[in-house]
Amino acid sequence: MRYEVKAVLSGQGTVHLELEANSEEEARLQVTEQGGMVLSVRRSFSGFSLKSNTHFPLVHFSQELLSLQTAGLSLVESIETLLEKEQDTGNRKIIQNILDRLYEGITFSQTLEEHPRAFPPLYIATIRASERTGDLPEALTRFISYQTQMDFVRKKLVGASIYPVLLLVVGFLVSIFLLVFVVPKFSAIYDDMGSELPWLSLLLIKWGHFVDERGWELAIATGTVISMIVYFVTRPTFRANLLRLLWRIPAVGEHMRVYQLARFYKTLGMLLRGGIPITQALQMVSGLLQSHFRPKVEAAAKHIREGKTISNAMEQEGLTTAVGNRMLRVGERTGQMGDMMERIGNFHDEEIARWVEWTTKLIEPLLMAIIGIVIGGIIILMYMPIFELAGSIN
């Protein structure tokens, strides 16, 4: 769930944040762990709002801004150009506000903080780091590359799950159609048959009679059960318990851990390349991870402040793999820790992609076989009385 938090942070004053958390208490805890004071917290219902809420095209905005900056325009001139070409009313309002604040002499990162829905904390931190170095195009290039890679991995995971889900839905609908509409017709035909039938066929025929006699009651009960399932699935406690259950499955939990580490190292590498200190970067990245990872990240940051190397701190808290730890040590020797962390993230992404591809190839034929057995079994049981009748005639 997403929460909108109004808080006071040292060095930044009053800010509006948008955080991912399982509860309001967890959102408050994320702010207090950063040394801030929470003023108000409210649930963000942007995904279910009845009002029109256009998503700000952050990557597209950054790409156009990068092109204008590379062409030699100043920041104000670039924002003016983007404002002139923008057609969406909501996006125009955001860009106009940014331009007005720049006219007042406010820094670019501070103007972006006023729009937490459009600009996430990582983006703002990247821009703030570029203001110290004076290289905004390089910061935009890093963020665009990072976000493009993250979106690619996310789309690949979603794309891999579409076909299995479609198979399940189609198989379920076909089975429901047979049980609700076809079986009752056949059961009416078999009423006067005196031949002995297999008990599964008799059970199917009794089901057909039940649907025919109490169809409306069955429909109401089914609707009630589906509504209850949807209600419980949308509860944060249910999702949290489901995630904990998945983490306990050895094969699935380990790959979920690797996926989290890939996101962790990619984001951390981008921030380090932008000039943000490792301890501050760890504090910012912890909010992107699952809740049980966050204490480990905080402990790793504490170890680093105490003088331990990054590789030792990550290994001690279980925030790396065998290959990732070796790459971290190479990064410490070469001094290219940001680049090395991004390589670790890419390596783990490739590992996850191979696992998803293998799992998809395994699950798809299994689902097709199960659906075929269920639908074929229903049809065979429906026609079994006809086979019995034909045998008795012969």
Residue-wise pLDDT tens digits, 141-152: 878 887 887 777
* 37-43 and 13-20 beta bridge pairing: unpaired
Per-residue pLDDT tens digits for 308-360 = 898 898 888 888 888 888 999 898 888 888 889 888 888 888 888 888 788 87
Calculate mean pLDDT across residues 44-58. Answer: 51
For the sheet with 13-20, list strands across it. 13-20, 2-9, 37-43
283/43: higher pLDDT: 283
CATH 1.20.81.30 for domain 138-394, yes or no, is yes
- CATH code: domain 1-46 is 3.10.20
Residue in 54, 9, 25 with CA at minimum distance from that of residue 17 = 9
CA distance 389 to 380: 14
pLDDT of residue 89: 83
Task: Flag whether pLDDT at 203 surpasses 80.
Answer: no
pLDDT digits (tens, 9 = 90+) for 214-264: 778 878 888 888 888 888 877 777 767 777 777 777 777 788 888 888 888
Residue 62, judged by CB atoms within 10 A of its CB (0-12, 13-18, 19+), counts as buried
pLDDT at 38: 75
Q: Is 22 helix (H, G, I), strand (E, B) or coil?
A: coil
Say what the pLDDT of residue 47 is.
Answer: 37
Q: Is 56 helix (H, G, I), strand (E, B) or coil?
A: coil
* Domain boundary assignment for the chain: 1-46, 57-119, 138-394
DSSP 55: P
Using CA atoms, how far apart are residues 348 and 179, in angstroms rounded to an integer? 45
